[in-house]
Amino acid sequence: MKAVILAAGYGKRMGGDTPKPLVELYGLPLIEHKIRKLDGYEIIVVYHDERIKDHIQKRFPRIKLVYNPYPERENGYSLYCVKDLIKEGESFILLMADHYYDEGFYRDINPINQTTVYVSAKCYQEDEATKVKVQGDKVIKIGKGIDDYDYFDTGFFVCSYESLVYAERAVSQREKVKLSDIMQLLADDGRLSYKVMDEFWIDIDTKEDLKKAEEFIRRSLIKPTDGIISKFLNRKISTRITPFLLRYDFITPNRITVFVSLLGFLTSVLFYFKYYLLAGIMTQIVSIIDGCDGEVARIKNLSSRFGAVLDSVLDRYVDIFIISAIFLSIEKDIFLSLSFIPALTGSVLVSYVSHLSGWRPYLATRDIRLFLVMVFSILFSLYENMIYAFFAVIAVITHVSVIFTLLRLRS
């Protein structure tokens, strides 16, 4: 299926000279958020500004670029520009380069018989928005000046070839043709359907809009499975590091995973040589940037099964190295072994059981375990025998979590 991104509009209200599609949102040019999520589609970008062309050519050489020589004729003319690239009977996605759409928009898209506009009951700039009035399963009115409306037009469409026929007719009759003018023509003939979306979307016109979108992205990166330390501490920091990592394509999620793990192994060496305090702080840093791989993967749509397993396995190895290094750092007696073994195995088993059951071990998620390492490392540096207490605490919370999960599964 093809996907057409309209990026030929003006719109300089953002300040600065950068064309809006290239304005940076959370580390990536606005237009790239769409390109990344449209992985697997044949993307066509309609542009006017040469800087957009240069940027796309450099970063995404496989994307087809279509020049719109008349941006002043409005975005309906941009749609008309792709007419020769779509075959009769073909459906395609149509979306705006300067909007941000949450992942839900890109799910379950199928070829359609009738052009469909994605609408929403929510909108951040109601005055500016294009409104939609529906009747049954059809749109009857679409445009800015509608008082009696049901939804807002999100600027996301799945179009039939027919929409291009209407576009051709519109540009032959008028100088300025808005996309909503073409859609109104379709609606007049009962040829425009709609789909109601509940997901976040925003038309980015101002710096405030950009901020709103950024805040949304940051919040969306907190996973429902995140533990309490992760939610209230780690994510707050990692989601502020991630935009910097997103700027560089060589910083892949898997490379972040490997880097964080190396940092973890280094941390275990510090523990072994009794730099407890430094090692404790390092542990918390590892715990924080451990979130970045998943965040980059989600934003750039690079999640993979291999990446997920690699992350899980390396996390386990880092946990094992840290706990073992603490054990090996002091004089061993039988009691130390007897507390070390349950702490070590509990740390691995709690993840194992969580994967088997699909449940999160509230008490002993990794963020909490690593946070405890940091807290206790302060105590180790004062009094080495606190290591016994540390092992005991880790052993108890992990094995209790395993048993609770089993009991919960049984009931």
Count of CB atoms situated within 10 Å of the CB of 252? 17
Query: Do residues 175 and 73 lie in contact, with contact meaning Cβ atoms separated by under 8 Å?
Result: yes
Angstrom distance (rounded) from CA 297 to CA 231: 18
Per CB under 8 A, the segment of 1-9, 38-46, 214-222, 355-363 that binds its own copies is 355-363
Nearer to its own copies, 236 or 332 (CB): 332
Query: Do residues 367 and 230 lie in contact, with contact meaning Cβ atoms separated by under 8 Å?
Result: yes
CB of 366 to its own copies, least distance (A): 14
Nearer to its own copies, 378 or 409 (CB): 409
Instruction: Indicate the helix (H) or strand (E) that contains 49.
Output: none
- Phi, psi (rounded to 5 degrees) for 279: -60, -40
Please give the structure tokens belonging to residue 190.
Answer: 């009962």
What are the residue ranges of helices labelled H in 230-275?
235-246, 253-272
CB of 410 to its own copies, least distance (A): 5
Nearer to its own copies, 185 or 353 (CB): 353
CB of 332 to its own copies, least distance (A): 6
Angstrom distance (rounded) from CA 325 to CA 22: 48
Please classify residue 146 by burial: count the beta carbons closer than 10 Å to its beta carbon, then call 0-12 exposed, 13-18 middle and 19+ buried.
middle
Contact flag: residue 309 with its own copies (CB under 8 A): yes
Nearer to its own copies, 334 or 382 (CB): 334
Amino acid occupying residue 95:
L
CB of 402 to its own copies, least distance (A): 6
Restricting to residues 247-266, name those near its own copies by CB under 8 A: none
CB of 264 to its own copies, least distance (A): 14
Restricting to residues 321-340, name those near its own copies by CB under 8 A: 324, 327-328, 332, 334, 337-338
CB of 362 to its own copies, least distance (A): 17
**Pick from 196, 262, 341, 378: which binds its own copies (CB under 8 A)?**
341
Nearer to its own copies, 279 or 344 (CB): 344
Give me the count of residues in the chain: 411
Please classify residue 161 by burial: count the beta carbons closer than 10 Å to its beta carbon, then call 0-12 exposed, 13-18 middle and 19+ buried.
middle
Distances in Å between the Cα of 45 and the Cα atoms of 97, 116, 141, 205 are 9, 20, 28, 20
Per CB under 8 A, the segment of 82-90, 111-119, 233-241, 346-354 that binds its own copies is 346-354
According to DSSP, the residues that pair with 94 across neighbouring strands are: 4, 157
Nearer to its own copies, 196 or 409 (CB): 409
Distances in Å between the Cα of 122 and the Cα atoms of 149, 150, 183, 203, 365 are 12, 10, 20, 12, 36
Helix (H, G, I), strand (E, B) or coil at 25: strand
Rg over CA atoms, the chain: 27
CB of 320 to its own copies, least distance (A): 5
Nearer to its own copies, 114 or 324 (CB): 324
CB of 405 to its own copies, least distance (A): 8
**Pick from 146, 320, 330, 400: which binds its own copies (CB under 8 A)?**
320
Count of residues that interact with its own copies, criterion CB under 8 A: 33
Draw the binding track, 267-306, toward its own copies (x: CB under 8 A; -: no contact): --------------------------------------xx
Largest CA distance in the chain: 91
Amino acid occupying residue 9:
G
Nearer to its own copies, 70 or 388 (CB): 388
**Pick from 312, 375, 388, 404: which binds its own copies (CB under 8 A)?**
312
Nearer to its own copies, 241 or 392 (CB): 392
Query: Do residues 22 and 55 lie in contact, with contact meaning Cβ atoms separated by under 8 Å?
Result: yes
Contact flag: residue 391 with its own copies (CB under 8 A): no
**Of residues 32, 81, 33, 40, the one with CA closest to residue 60:** 32
Nearer to its own copies, 153 or 319 (CB): 319
Q: Where does this chain bind its own copies (CB under 8 A)?
A: 305-306, 308-310, 312-313, 316-317, 320, 324, 327-328, 332, 334, 337-338, 341, 344-345, 348-349, 351-353, 355-357, 402, 405-406, 409-410
